[in-house]
Amino acid sequence: MPVEASRVETTVRAPADAVWAALTTASALKQLFFGADVETDWRVGSPIRFRGEWKGKRYEDKGTVQTVDPGKRLRFTHWSPLSGVPDAPEHYHVVSFELSPAGDGTRVVLTQTNQDDAELLTDASRSELAKNWSALLATLKRLVERP
């Protein structure tokens, strides 16, 4: 049964279309995803690839685009060989971005839902996920809010 592994949120002082552009543009994605090259056409069912280096190790993560609702919702599956688990559907997690109006800006809620590894989620792993996803949202704010 899927379990929410992490949930972080922020409010960006910008309209949803500006936030959306940052979440779907290659140059911004590279900054958001810690230097990884992110490749996809953002069509539901299309592959998404993340290629880069993490802690000195090259990697290629992959997944599938699940939801594209411009200015509102973006969701994709994700699996990384760095996770140490086999490339099998039950080891993919789902990353979701939900955008909604918040005063003069946009509320962004990022969640990671794990498919089968509830027993692998420790307080330390949840803390690490929250730290990484919070860093992504902080970068998103900087990118979109800068003058």
Please state the domain extents for the chain: 3-145
Cα 117 from chain centroid? 18
- Tens of pLDDT along 37-91? 999 999 999 999 999 988 888 999 999 999 999 999 999 999 988 888 889 888 8
Helices (H), 1-122: 16-24, 26-32
Query: What mean pLDDT do residues 102-118 have?
Result: 84
Query: How many residues does this entry show for the chain?
Result: 147
| Phi and psi angles of residue 143, each rounded to the nearest 5 degrees, phi first | -65, -45
CA distance 79 to 50: 10
Per-residue pLDDT at 133: 87
Per-residue pLDDT at 130: 82
Q: Model's pTM, two decimal places?
A: 0.89
Question: What Å distances lie between residue 113 and 93, 97, 126, CA to CA?
Answer: 6, 12, 11
Please give the structure tokens belonging to residue 118: 């509830």
Domain 3-145: state its class.
Answer: alpha beta
